[in-house]
Structure 1
């Protein structure tokens, strides 16, 4: 009968966990999640050029039209102040700019950003100025449904 013989090659070493490699992996994951995390900005600070208006919400939202030139943005805040592309303007300056835009491009798109607390009359006044200059491609900007 044949009996296998066990050959002893030396002392058996206990398996070790490589702590340095484990620490490196943990630091790598920590750095990855720190870089990948987006930090939320405070909402009470307005960005420069942002209109001081709170848009009303709508139930249905259409996708914005990406083709063509950017629209001329007219803002109306809750006190009736007018804004043209983010800068405060008077009614006379707005009317002059609308007249120049209509002469240069009669099909120019106009977007009205009206605050949800703005008076309806202030929005109608802006619409009247646009229609007086024959700018009829007008849209109203709202917040999308949530």
Structure 2
């Protein structure tokens, strides 16, 4: 005697579970391969820059008027030819120098502990007045 259990259904493969397993394996291999580091390369420093040492600050054969010296100390205070000045006074003096002599040499003496932004501010003032003959004063190597 045969027992009828209902309609005969074909077995199904659960595609949702199979897709989840495939994505899991894919993520596993992606993460596992991203941690592999090359072993034969030397570790590079973050900034591979070696700052130069100046042997001579000015060429002995330079002629013409002496440069306009702008100093910046470690607190960001500015000096013009040794006298403390404000940003407005410095800007006015640079405007006068640009009108009188557009090729005037400018020398920036920045303290080694001065913020880079303070030096860039002085450079921006010079560039705004189209003074482009700018040099940075360094210490000579001894």
Quick one: distance in 2 between partners of 1:81 and 1:93? 13
**Equivalent residue in structure 1 for 2:136, among 130, 137, 140:** 140
Q: Give the structure 2 partner of residue 104 of structure 1.
A: 100
Q: Which stretches in structure 2 are left out of the alignment for 5+ residues? A: 1-50
Q: Bigger shift: 63-72 or 97-106?
A: 63-72
After TM superposition, where is structure 1 displaced by more than 2 Å over at least 4 residues in a row? 60-63
What number of residue pairs does the alignment pair up? Answer: 90
**Equivalent residue in structure 2 for 1:83, among 79, 82, 94:** 79
RMSD (Å), alpha carbons: 1.5
SS in structure 1 opposite 2:91? helix
TM-score (norm 1): 0.59
TM-score (norm 2): 0.60
Larger Rg: 2
Q: Which stretches in structure 1 are left out of the alignment for 5+ residues? A: 1-56
The correspondence of residues 33-52 of structure 1 with structure 2, limited to 5 A, is none
SS in structure 2 opposite 1:103? helix
Shift of 1:61: 2.7
